[in-house]
Amino acid sequence: MSRLWQTGEVEGLDPAVEKFLSSIEVDARLVFEDIECSQAHAIMLGEQGIIPAQDASALVDELAKIRKELETGSLQVDPSAEDVHSFLEDELTRRLGDIGKTIHAGRSRNDQVAAAFKLHVRGACRRTRGLVQKAIAACLDVAEENIETLMPGYTHLQRAQPVTLAHHLLAWCAGLERDAGRLADAAARADESPLGAGALAGSGLSVDRERTAGLIGFARVSTNTMDAVADRDAAIEYAAASATLMVHLSRACEDIVLWASSEYGFAKLSPRASTGSSIMPQKRNPDPAELIRGKAGRIFGNLQAILVMEKGTPYAYNRDLQEDKALFFEIEETVNGALGTFCVLVKSLEPDVARMRAALDEGYLEATDVAEFLVKRGVPFRTAYQASKLLVARCIEEKKSLRDITQADCTVHEAFGRAGVGAAELVQYLEPQACVARRMQTGGPAPLRVREQIERLRTWLASAG
């Protein structure tokens, strides 16, 4: 296949160099975006009188035929082409003769690839955001069934305070909601057209950039032609948003791995989301959760690679930028696959409600509530903290829980006596369900607040589309 920049008068590239420079294996994925941008460009060329209107119409129609043939499989992208853009122009020339050669007037491959790639990135932001919303919906479905399912909350992997499973799942949702916002912001910033920027300085032809942007569906045109072909911020933003998203998925998957372990035993995973051992018949392994956790590292690495690739390139276009697409497409495939798998994981959770509740009976998770009980009786918090600490120490020494204390135990600190604390009253106050129900702050684990959070997220999902 001919090269757009080559004439027959010079020696051709060495085959090894030619293979090294080729990007067709990667950027063939942009063929439909390139067709869409090329059709808009052809329409504009005809409207501006740069080429005859009938030629523009022929180009648009032939591009539509090429698209249909590619979709049905009757036409394949030629692997010998230098890139997908060369393939399409060569195909148009093969079919239409000299008319096909007019398609490139007023544009460069620099703005051509920038436009097709930005169109793809904008779509990727929207597609991944939709999958994030599905992941949130999956979490909400399980949360709604477990609004009053008590379990320990942890800090430093130590049992800390009573919460509910629904509250824990909503913590995942909070991070995912921010991820959806980041992807929406990235899509909005990617919604501008580089087409018409040419190699870096535009064209002396009467190119109408606003017209092509409108035909493609971009909200605006880029404000500087040099920046238009140098800019890869949209790809970086998607990669960065994906990296943060994978942090959240990885942390949630770490929770799932812990919950499914024999040591925790808080949940099982159905066979839809767990695998067996090749040697130990009794085992079910949370492999999907572990692999999501592992694949997060690939996303982080690709983000770093894109940043390093771009940071040393002078304005405007440099061939280094060819490498962004392979990195980007791997990020896109990985994060979308992880989101789909995460949805299945969440739906496959089988909580052990009794085991979660029993875990609240060890670790003195009500200690903070002892201190707060005293605060309500007028005791300064730091004094109340010391009194609660001494009461816990007494219970540890006597190998009993805080809900087994007697009036004699309240003599460990004078604050209990000064506040007129009765052991029976305090024990009732320390019931885990009561401890959770009292936490009525916005975003807290109290069932009323959890229901409000679920309702808000359901409303947001319905309006987000």
pLDDT tens sequence for the chain (465 residues): 555 545 556 567 777 787 777 778 888 999 999 999 999 999 999 999 999 999 999 999 999 999 999 999 999 999 988 899 999 999 999 999 999 999 999 999 999 999 999 999 999 999 999 999 999 999 999 999 999 999 999 999 999 999 999 999 999 999 999 999 999 999 999 999 999 999 999 999 999 999 999 999 999 999 999 999 999 999 999 999 999 999 999 999 999 999 999 999 999 999 887 777 777 767 788 899 999 999 999 999 999 999 999 998 999 888 888 899 999 999 999 999 999 999 999 999 999 999 999 999 999 999 999 999 999 999 999 999 999 999 999 999 999 999 999 999 999 999 999 999 999 999 999 999 999 999 999 999 999 999 999 999 999 999 986
Q: Which of 74, 156, 262, 463 is catalytic?
A: 156
Q: Is there a contact between 284 and 273 (Cβ–Cβ < 8 Å)?
A: no
H-helix segments, 145-206: 165-189
Nearest to 60 by CA among 76, 36, 84, 78: 36
pLDDT of residue 8: 54
Give CA–CA dist 237/184, Å, rounded. 11
Instruction: Name the segment(s) of the chain with CATH classification 1.10.275.10.
Output: 15-105
* CATH of the domain spanning 15-105: 1.10.275.10
Half-sphere exposure of 193 (CA within 13 A, CB side): 27
- Known catalytic membership, residue 277: yes
HSE (CB half, 13 Å, CA atoms) of 435?
Answer: 26
Coil, helix or strand for 455? Answer: helix
Nearest-CA neighbor of 170 among 353, 444, 359?
A: 444
| Residue extent(s) of CATH 1.20.200.10 domains in the chain | 110-356
**Which single residue is written with the structure tokens 């919604």?**
191
pTM (two decimals) = 0.93
Residues of the chain with CATH 1.10.40.30: 360-464
Cα separation, 464 vs 126, in Å, equals 11
Q: Which residue of the set 2, 261, 270, 277 is catalytic? A: 277
Rounded alpha-carbon distances, angstroms, from residue 235 to 116, 261, 328, 433 = 12, 38, 7, 47
Rounded CA separation 138/145 (Å): 12
Handedness of CA 258, 298, 170, 147 (dihedral sign): negative
DSSP state letters, 53-82: HHHHHHHHHHHHHHHHHHHHTSS---TTSS
Predicted confidence at residue 238, as pLDDT, reads 98
Question: How long a stretch of residues is the chain?
Answer: 465
At residue 146, φ and ψ (nearest 5 deg) are -135, 35
The alpha carbon torsion through 146, 151, 155, 157 (nearest 10 deg) reads: -110
- CATH homologous superfamily of 110-356 equals Fumarase/aspartase (Central domain) (1.20.200.10)
The residues that bridge with 268 in the sheet, in sequence order, are: 350
User: How far is 261 from 146, CA to CA, in rounded Å?
Assistant: 20
What pLDDT does residue 291 have?
A: 94
Q: Which amino acid is at 465?
A: G
Q: What is the pLDDT of residue 316?
A: 87
Integer Cα distance of 290 and 218 in angstroms: 39
Could you please state the CATH topology (level 3) that the domain comprising 360-464 is classified under: Ribonucleotide Reductase Protein R1; domain 1 (1.10.40)
